Chain A
Amino acid sequence: MLTCKEVLDSLSDYLDADMKEELISEVKRHIGSCSDCRAEFDTLTMTLKLYKHEHAEPTVMPVGCHDRLVKVLELEKLRSKGAPPPKMV
């Protein structure tokens, strides 16, 4: 039998299904009968759901970001080729 501490320590692996099958079923059984560990599991699951939901939208680079990056790299090219550093505008 797993102790509560063992279950809690393994919750992340359990969520990620990153453990041996037999251990998975032991954790599952424990959570089924222990309300404290079940609450731990539920809230952890919910936290990750919320977190993933909040960040589900792909991020978009701001306008001009690409051009500024290209400019920075061009300055670096000039610099590395020994040209005098151009005046900042």
Chain B
Amino acid sequence: MPAVTDEELVRKSKEDDERAFGELVSRYESKVYSLALRMVRNPEDAEDVLQDTFLRAYRGIKSFQGASTFSTWIYRITANSALMRLRKKQLPTVSIDNADERETPVNIADWSPTPDEQLLNQELQHEMEEAIRSLPAEFQQVFVLRDIEEMSNAEVAEILDLSVAAVKSRLHRARLKVRNRLAGYFSESAKPKRRAMGVH
């Protein structure tokens, strides 16, 4: 079915065209699964989220107004489903709303990045995983959508039904939290190497 738009498939799905809905499933299932896996962080839960997402989409397609694109709509359902699952299993988290994130970077002042070496450090990756897991679910979501899926602030805001300002604030605090947890690793491999500053 080449060159059929999502809109067309949505329209047909609303008219009980099962094949059209099946095509939407084929188009989005791996993306939804990937998003789910990155949010819930284990394959069993990700598959549950995947099934839950398309079940809800199937039940809700007739009330889908098309105010957003189908992809935004389906990712929103995915994010909500993942969030509910994360909340059920939420690890004890560090308070992120009240705490002052400005922890003085005394021990990392001379640190500068040495990417290749760092990237190979499994222990560091494990610590990163733990840091992300211990973020409150709402912050994990923003982090995953922005920094992994590389969606724009506006897209994330639309998917999570937040203001752009709220997305930016959550993202900033989530990044700092993760970074703070890794600070010890950074200082250990500190090397007095300056590099040009740039915007990435």
A-side residues, CB < 8 A to B, are 5, 8-9, 11-18, 24, 28, 31-32, 35-36, 38-55, 58-62, 65-66, 68-70, 72-73, 76-77, 80
Residue pair B59, A43 in contact (C-beta under 8 Å): no
Residue pair A55, B176 in contact (C-beta under 8 Å): no
Interface size on B, residues (CB 8 A): 50
State the CA gap A34–B178 with chains docked (Å). 22
Within 8 Å of chain A (Cβ to Cβ): is B109? yes
10 extra interchain contacts, Cβ-Cβ under 8 A, other than A18-B153, A31-B197?
A: A36-B104, A43-B108, A43-B183, A46-B182, A53-B119, A59-B37, A60-B30, A61-B29, A73-B58, A76-B55
| Closest B residue to A15 using CB positions | B200
Residues of A within 8 A of B47 (CB): 62, 65, 68
Residue pair B29, A66 in contact (C-beta under 8 Å): yes
Residue pair A76, B59 in contact (C-beta under 8 Å): yes
**Total A-B contacts with CB atoms under 8 angstroms apart:** 128
Those of B44-59 within 8 Å (CB) of chain A: 47, 50-51, 54-55, 58-59
Within 8 Å of chain A (Cβ to Cβ): is B67? no
Within the complex, the shortest CB–CB distance from A47 to chain B, in Å, comes to 4
State the CA gap A49–B119 with chains docked (Å). 9
| Closest A residue to B18 using CB positions | A77
Residue pair B109, A73 in contact (C-beta under 8 Å): no
State the CA gap A69–B50 with chains docked (Å). 8
Jot down 19 A-B pairs with beta carbons below 8 A, ordered by A: A8-B102, A14-B199, A17-B200, A28-B197, A32-B197, A35-B109, A42-B108, A42-B112, A43-B183, A44-B176, A51-B128, A61-B29, A61-B50, A62-B47, A68-B47, A69-B25, A69-B54, A73-B58, A76-B58
State the CA gap A18–B153 with chains docked (Å). 10
